[in-house]
């Protein structure tokens, strides 16, 4: 039997009625498994259904949710399906890019399930997966580059629960940084940096640095950090094939934040940290 565990609208809306309907679902997985479920269990591969209301393989109970297309992605452990991720839409289909992201999400969920860590670690892994999917969706959009980068800074800030985030790029002289895009960055900070660009030496040797107590951390006593009166800070280099081209900064201005290894891994894994 497939046991409902979690469901959510992509936009974050809620529907108590649909949630109750979802929790009441009972989908058999053995001899009496519905056609589409049996197909996924046998093939252990995702299956797309593009005409849900008229497809006899789809369980009748599933059709009450009003989807036009659904994608079933199996959660596989040791060659055995232990669950399903079901994504549905009122659009006519789910395109190839969305299907790839769904498969990536399923793999991340399996890593979380198999992790011996705590529930907190599992939630962290799921949050990281959601962040990567959001960033991928943004990069694949038709927005202007600066707006794309601004939205990536937003995803970075929200993923680590920072007060703000900013991306700073090197000037042509490659000896100073100027703000390129920011999310919730205090205006006075941006104005200060525009008037007095950040000057750093040894750019190519720059590594990720972080601190939960910037004012009292010996690593963050350089004059540059007087321009960033943050309580806590993550600085991650942005790299291109020619080396470091800038910095992603996530800052906490009014409170200290204990930076975790999971947050560092997440920031370093963002596509903006591997600039093309």
Which domains are delineated in the chain? 16-114 (3.30.450.40), 145-274 (3.30.450.40)
- Checking if the pLDDT of 112 tops 60, the result is yes
Euclidean distance between CA atoms 7 and 107, whole angstroms = 18
Q: What is the pTM of this model?
A: 0.50
The closest of 72, 60, 58, 59 to 106, measured between CA atoms, is: 72
What's the pLDDT score for residue 202? Answer: 56
At 255 the pLDDT is 92
Q: Which residue has the higher pLDDT, 196 or 101?
A: 101
The confidence score (pLDDT) of residue 12 equals 65
Q: Which residues of 186-222 are buried (b: 16+ CB within 10 A; e: fewer)?
A: beebeebbeeebbebeebeebeeebbeebeeeeebee
| pLDDT (0 to 100) of residue 139 | 45
118-146: per-residue pLDDT in tens? 445 545 544 554 554 454 454 444 457 67
pLDDT class of 69 with cuts at 50, 70, 90: very high
Give pLDDT, residue 6: 74
Percent of the chain with pLDDT over 70: 76
Residue range 86-109: mean pLDDT, rounded: 86
The pLDDT mean for the chain works out to: 77
Segment among 61-65, 97-101, 117-121 with least mean pLDDT: 117-121
Of 11-25, 95-109, 155-169, 220-234, the poorest mean pLDDT is in 11-25
Tokens of 269: 């894994």
- pLDDT recorded at residue 138: 46
Which residues in 132-143 are b (16+ Cβ under 10 Å) and which e?
A: bbbbeebeeeee
pLDDT at 105: 82
Distance CA 228, CA 79 (A): 51
Tens digits of residue pLDDT in 182-234? 888 888 877 877 777 676 665 556 788 899 999 899 888 877 677 678 899 99
Least confident of 3-7, 124-128, 148-152: 124-128
Instruction: Return the H-helix or E-strand segment holding 109.
Output: helix 96-114
Can you give the pLDDT at residue 27? 67
Average pLDDT for residues 21-27, to the nearest whole number? 73
Kindly tell me if the per-residue pLDDT of 37 is higher than 90.
no
- 3-state helix vs strand vs coil in the chain, percent to 5: 40, 25, 35
Residue 44 has pLDDT above 80, yes or no: yes
Q: Report which DSSP code applies to 249.
A: E
pLDDT of 251 > 90? The answer is: yes
DSSP 3: P
């Amino acid at each position: 039997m497939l046991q409902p565990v979690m469901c959510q609208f992509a936009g974050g809306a809620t529907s108590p009625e649909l949630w109750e309907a979802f929790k009441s679902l009972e989908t058999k997985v053995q001899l009496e498994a519905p056609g589409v479920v049996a197909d996924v269990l046998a093939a252990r591969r995702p299956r797309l259904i593009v005409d849900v209301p008229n497809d006899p393989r789809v369980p009748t109970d599933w059709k009450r949710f009003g989807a036009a297309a659904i994608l079933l992605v199996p959660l596989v452990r040791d060659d055995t399906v232990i669950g399903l991720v079901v994504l549905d839409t009122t659009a006519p289909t789910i395109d190839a890019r969305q299907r790839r992201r769904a498969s990536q999400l399923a793999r991340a969920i399996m890593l979380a399930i198999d992790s011996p860590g705590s529930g907190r670690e599992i939630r962290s892994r799921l949050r990281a997966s959601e962040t990567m999917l959001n960033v991928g969706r943004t990069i694949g959009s038709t927005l202007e580059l600066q707006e794309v980068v601004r939205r990536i800074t937003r995803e970075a800030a929200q993923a680590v629960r920072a007060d703000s985030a900013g991306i700073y790029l090197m000037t042509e002289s490659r000896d100073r940084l100027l703000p390129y895009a920011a999310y919730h960055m205090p205006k006075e900070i941006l104005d200060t940096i525009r008037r007095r660009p950040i000057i750093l030496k040894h750019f190519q040797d720059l590594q990720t640095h972080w601190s939960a107590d910037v004012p009292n951390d010996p690593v963050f006593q350089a004059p540059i950090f007087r321009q960033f009166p943050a309580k806590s800070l993550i600085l991650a280099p942005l790299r291109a094939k020619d080396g470091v081209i800038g910095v992603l900064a996530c800052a906490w201005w009014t409170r200290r934040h204990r930076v975790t290894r999971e947050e560092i891994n997440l920031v370093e894994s963002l596509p903006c940290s591997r600039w093309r």
